[in-house]
């Protein structure tokens, strides 16, 4: 696991904080008339982005592009399944 440069880590941390804040805002908007299905999709997308940042910057997969692509693909597919299960009752 190669240690990322501190500024890279700080950027990753800031991005994670920002994405988490955005998730909270989107989730809160559901109670104020925002479509829950759209909000759910956005929340899961933001979670996927956060997972990608942790894998890439914190766990060092930025130095292993093939593995990073593999993890991203599997996580992306998983989030699509989760979104499908979430939306199913609304169909």
Judged by the rule CB under 8 A, the positions of this chain that interact with another protein are 1-6, 9-10, 12-13, 16-17, 20, 23-24, 27-28, 30, 36, 40, 43-44, 46-47, 50-51, 54-55, 57-61, 63-64, 66-67, 78, 81-82, 85-86, 88-89
Between 33 and 66, whose beta carbon lies closer to another protein?
A: 66
Cβ of residue 40: shortest distance to another protein, in angstroms? 5
CA 7 to CA 19: how far, in whole Å? 18
Q: How far is CA 69 from CA 29, 35, 51, 64, in A?
A: 32, 32, 13, 9
Closest approach, Cβ 25 to another protein, in A, equals 10
CB of 69 to another protein, least distance (A): 11
């Amino acid at each position: 696991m190669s240690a990322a440069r501190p500024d890279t880590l700080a950027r990753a941390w800031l991005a994670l904080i920002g994405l988490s804040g955005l998730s909270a805002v989107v989730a809160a908007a559901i109670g104020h008339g925002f479509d829950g299905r759209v909000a759910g999709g956005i929340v899961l997308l933001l979670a996927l982005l956060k997972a990608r940042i942790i894998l890439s910057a914190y766990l060092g997969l930025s130095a292993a592009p093939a593995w990073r692509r593999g993890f991203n693909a599997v996580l992306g597919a998983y989030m699509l399944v989760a979104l499908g299960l979430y939306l199913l009752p609304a169909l």
